Every structure is written in structure tokens, then in C-alpha cells.
Amino acid sequence: MRLILVRPGESAGKPSHQQGPAQAEVITREIGSVVSRTLPVEAIYTSTNALAAETARIISDGLGIASPIQEDAFDVPIADSGPDGIEGLQSRAWSAVESLLERHPPDCTLILVAQEMTIRLLVCRALSLPLSEMQRFRIDPASLTTLDFRLQPQRRTILAGLNETCHLEK
């Protein structure tokens, strides 16, 4: 199974806030061209964050697939991380990914639209990196990060793409 992690584009309140929807359209075209050569998109998931949800809606409309499914497990409220701290947030998000692996066939693509911190936490978990190392890579606005989950001959996760933004330069 392939999981494409999408960070939403520019948000309101920033000088280039009009870019967000346009960036989501570009992301949609990129995913459409890549997925047409690989595994079909089975579903789109999103955090409950408004910008992530809007980006997911634009992608689902553009790809002609069902409306995005909101999952609060992909929300990362750092200020309210509870007694387990950031590790608890990572564990909750990773458990949600594992649940997706069980719910969908192994030969499909899933899209998850989430904020930067959620993507960082998932990449660290996928690579078995300690959370103290999560600032060693970039997750830019409107970027794509791809995780491949292999189940045979042994279960393992492969980082197939990190912070891809070349679609924004076209």
C-alpha cells in the first residue's frame, strides 16, 4: 500500500494566502499523473484542520473520488498534547495509519492531508527515528511525502519520497 502525505499549501493570514487553493489544484494534477502509472487511489483522509480539509476536498473533487474522511487522530494539538506528550501524539497518529492498512487492500494508494507536525511524526515513526531528530528534514507547504508499506516477505515501511515540491515549479 502507498500512503501519500500531503501538507496543505499556504494558509490565510500569510501574504500568499490565495495560493492555497491553486496549490491544491497543482497537487491534484501531480497525484493524478503519478497514480495513473501506479496504484489507484482508494480513499482520501484528512485531519479536521480547516485548511487540510479544504485541500482534501479539492483533491477528491479533482480526482473524482469519494469525499475525504476526517480523522481526528491525525490532528496534532501540540499545546494540548496531554500526559504522554509528543510521543503520545505520534503513537495515536501511527495507530490510525495501521488501522488504514487493515481497512484497505494492499494494492492501493491512500492520501492523507495533514499538517506539518503530523507528517513529521509519521516519517520519524516510519524510519524509526527518535523524535529529537524530526527537525532534520523539511516538510514544505504543498509538499508530497510518500510511504510505501510492504507486507511480503516481511512487513516494512519505505520512505519513497520526502518533501516533494517539483510540481509547484511547473
pLDDT higher than threshold 80 for residue 55? yes
pLDDT band at 104 (very low <50, low <70, confident <90, very high): very high
Lowest mean pLDDT among 23-32, 60-69, 89-98: 23-32
User: CA 86 to CA 135: how far, in whole Å?
Assistant: 14
Mean pLDDT over 126-147 rounds to 94
**What is the pLDDT, as a whole number, of residue 15?**
46
**Domain housing 142:** 2-169
**Rounded to an integer, what distance in angstroms lies between the CA atom of residue 67 and that of residue 44?**
7
Q: Strand runs (DSSP E) across the chain, as ranges?
A: 2-6, 41-46, 69-70, 109-113, 144-150, 156-164
When pLDDT is cut at 50, 70 and 90, the band that residue 43 belongs to is: very high
pLDDT of residue 108: 92
**How would residue 155 be classed by pLDDT, with cut points 50, 70 and 90?**
confident
DSSP string, 97-125: HHHHHHHS-TT-EEEEE--HHHHHHHHHH
The count of domains in the chain is 1
Tell me the whole-structure pTM to 2 decimals: 0.88
What percentage of the chain reaches a pLDDT higher than 70? 89
- C-beta neighbour count of 55 within 10 angstroms: 30
For the chain, the C-alpha Rg in angstroms (whole number) is 15
User: Does residue 16 or residue 48 have the better pLDDT?
Assistant: 48
pLDDT computed for residue 80 by the predictor: 60
pLDDT over 60 (residue 10): yes
Neighbours of 156 (CB within 10 A): 11
Q: How far apart are CA 83 and CA 72, in angstroms?
A: 18
7: domain CATH number?
3.40.50.1240
Location of C-alpha cell 513529521:
120
Phi, psi (degrees; rounded to nearest 5) at 92:
-65, -45
Q: What is the average per-residue pLDDT within 70-88?
A: 76
